[in-house]
Amino acid sequence: MKQALEETTLILPPFYKQSFSYLFFFYSFGILSYLSFPNYNLTPFILFIFPIFLVNWAANNKHLERTTFILLLAISFLLIGNTSMGEFQKSNLSEQAISNSEVFEAKIIEFQKKEQGWSKGIASITSFPKTGEALKNPIKILFFTDEKFKGEIDDILLVNSSLSRIENKNNPGEFDMKRYWQTKGIQHISFIQFENYQLVDKQKASYFQQFIRGIQKTFNAILEKHLQNGELSIAKALILGDKSLLDSETRNSFTATGAMHVLAVSGLHIGLILQLLLGVAKLFSRLISKKIAVIVIVLLLWIYALITGFSPSVIRAVFMFSVLALSQLSGRTYNPINTLFFTAFVILLFQPLYLFDVGFQLSYLAMLGIFLFYKKIESWFPTKNKILRYFWQGTAIGLAAQAMTTPLTLYYFHQFPNYFILSNLGLMLFSGIILGLGVFLFLLNFIPFIGQLNGLLLFISIWLMFGFIQWVEKLPGSVAYGFTVPFSMVLILSVCIYFLLKIQITKRTWLAFGFLFFLALSNLIYTRWDNLNSKHVCIFNNNDLVFTLKKGAQIVCFYDSEINEKHKVEFMLASYLKCYPGEINYISINKKNISAQFGSDKIKLTKTASGKLLEINGREIPFIYSNKTIFTEKNSIKMPWIEGERSLKNGSILFDL
């Protein structure tokens, strides 16, 4: 019994040392409970339980046991999390009102115009003029526009365009776009063309907003003056957090090497800027006190966060570094993990949906991994050589962060960058140089020769970094695809990694979790092998018929559209190929009947009165194109615009050959 209690103490930290770790989990479970049981009103329980907790806290009741105290605390914050999520989800506009409204008045709050193709933005609906319904709380929507669109941020538009819910197509490996936008408080989408809107008013931004946007425009103009094309897109992403110019090739290269986090302003960037500002402050140590220097640096970090778009990762990083810096300044001792969970807890109080934001999750897991495992991993290779120690410490940080984030990245992205250690070593060198040169370019741009030299050095640094990333990407086996990991496996792997790398743990516990980790890893490897060698037919949720036949490493894709539409099909199948990798060939059937041979499999597609008929080795699969068809066969598949069972609207359909 004593040994079990000691082991529990090693596993779970004392409440008084990491109180916000407990509060974060209690509050998060409350958020999850609302999403699981949205129709249950738990407010009466809060009104009953929370006063009891407060009375016992205030009275400092000596008879109140520690376990009872934590239990009351857990119930209280679980209920608070449940209620706050419920309040956050409430809207004064019914779903029916949204779906029936095609005319609305909206203010543009975010917009990035592209020279070609559709541009994306976010608007806030304030009223529905036809119904006369004004909104107490504006509703944010996602919108896309064509090249002729002339709207700008803060414009108020009268729009004549339908609103529809953002839905996933549920094709294999597809990113959960619905949840992604829900975490930003957006559930609806609209396509606004030039002839479908008129300008109602140009609302003037506040002086503070004008100040921030002025800085953004100035910094963008400076980068555009010295850089162009790919180097400009990388610089804007890495320094300013603007990823709008990144093309698919650049994104794929950074993703394949495990370096995509460099292009999203996060803790890495904030830490580097903090070190840079601290170094500059030391040069003026005789002129300003340490206290004033720290306060000024914290303010500059928050201004930088505003300039880069106030993303969850930036908020987390700046907030945490601010708390750490101010804690050190006050001379009080602090627990870094408790500080980490304190920042997460405060952020969720204001925006509960951030709990489901992928960037928020990976950002906090990476920092948690560093705090938990860095010291132990760093001790594996002690060295007195300064250069080796510098690179090993960087490697240890990367390993600690990767250990905690890998299960979740496999779950979301179905791939693993095999050379992430190599790419992180290169990024250790380049990212600091690029960020430093970027900051100095903003400061020294007005000096002709120095500004040009700084811009040239920045260009060379970005060119070398991207060249290095592309080299790593082209190494044999740079990326392992084919992982389809259920969330239960994510939890098992995460718990096992925590226990195996924990600093203080008994040998018996280590062996037990080591065996569990071996079983989980074996299951992961077998599932990937099965995906690589599977033989199946996959029919995709797409308005034009698209289906693939996979036999081991060979895949053939048939798509019922023009050859020049191939790029759209390739974009859709990119996620599928992460789950079921192989060498793929595309064949445009373009509304025609086909008869083909794929290895030993015979494929035939013909038109019918109700749609199309696919035959594979004599097996018939009818496709229903008309909702007027009354009688359908049991194995028939309905196209996405037709409701009902076995409709592609519900997601892709996959069956074994």
At 240-266, the pLDDT tens digits run: 888 878 888 888 888 888 888 777 777
Clarify whether residues 327 and 466 are in a common domain. yes
Verify that 298 and 411 share a domain, yes or no. yes
Same domain, 562 and 600: yes
> What mean pLDDT is reported for the chain?
83
* Residue at 381 is within a domain: no
Q: What is the mean pLDDT of residues 29-41?
A: 75
Residue 477 and residue 441 share a domain: yes
In terms of domains, do 319 and 226 share one? yes
User: What is the structure's pLDDT at 644?
Assistant: 82
Give 348's contacts (C-beta < 8 A, 6+ positions apart).
24, 27, 28, 31, 81, 354, 355
Whether residue 1 has pLDDT greater than 60: no
Asked whether residue 396 is assigned to any structural domain, the reply reads no
458-476 burial, b at 16+ Cβ within 10 Å, e below that, comes to bbebbeebbebbebbbeee
Q: What is the pLDDT of residue 443?
A: 86
Given a contact cutoff of 8 angstroms between Cβ atoms, the answer to whether 159 and 106 are in contact is yes
pLDDT reported for residue 470: 93
Predicted confidence at residue 4, as pLDDT, reads 35
Say yes or no to pLDDT of 79 above 50.
yes
Q: What secondary structure letter does DSSP report for 610?
A: S
Around Cβ 93, how many Cβ atoms within 10 Å? Answer: 17
Where is the domain boundary, 89, 110, 140?
Answer: 89
Whether 351 is covered by a domain: the verdict is: yes
504 and 419 co-located in one domain: no
Give the whole-number percent of the chain exceeding pLDDT 70. 88
The answer to whether residue 386 is domain-embedded is no
Residue 391 placed within a domain? no
The residue segments making up the domain with residue 440 are: 210-371+405-481
pLDDT per residue over 364-410, tens digit each? 888 889 888 998 899 888 888 888 888 888 889 889 989 999 999 99
* Beta bridge partner(s), residue 124: 107, 140
Q: How confident is the model at residue 6 (pLDDT cuts 50, 70, 90)?
A: very low
**For 492-527, how does the pLDDT look when each residue is reduced to its tens digit (9 = 90+)?**
999 999 888 876 677 888 888 899 999 999 999 999
Residue 239 forms part of a structural domain: yes
- Asked if residue 597 is part of any domain, the answer here is yes
Say whether both 632 and 501 belong to one domain.
no
Q: Are residues 296 and 327 in the same domain?
A: yes
Distances (CA, A) of 422 to 230, 269, 294: 22, 19, 34
Q: What tens digit of pLDDT does each residue of 549-565 get? A: 999 999 999 998 877 77
- The torsion angle over the Cα atoms of residues 114, 116, 117 and 121, rounded to 10 degrees, is 10
Residues 444 and 501 in one domain: no
Residues 512 and 423 in one domain: no
Structure tokens at 64: 């109140």
Residue ending a domain, choose from 466, 481, 496: 481
Residue at 474: amino acid letter: K
pLDDT computed for residue 265 by the predictor:
73
Shared domain for 55 and 165, answered yes or no, is no
Please write the tens of the pLDDT for every residue from 408-423.
999 999 999 999 889 9
What's the rounded Cα separation, in Å, for the pair 512 and 518? 10
Domain count for the chain: 5
Q: Which long-range contacts (CB under 8 A, 24 or more apart) does 109-117 make?
A: 109/140, 109/153, 109/154, 110/153, 111/151, 111/152, 111/153, 112/242, 112/244, 113/149, 114/147, 114/244, 115/147, 116/147, 117/147
pLDDT tens for 139-176 read 889 999 988 888 888 899 999 988 888 999 999 999 88
Query: Of 428-437, 578-587, 588-597, where does mean pLDDT reach its minimum?
Result: 588-597
Does residue 193 fall inside a structural domain? yes
Q: Are residues 339 and 457 in the same domain?
A: yes
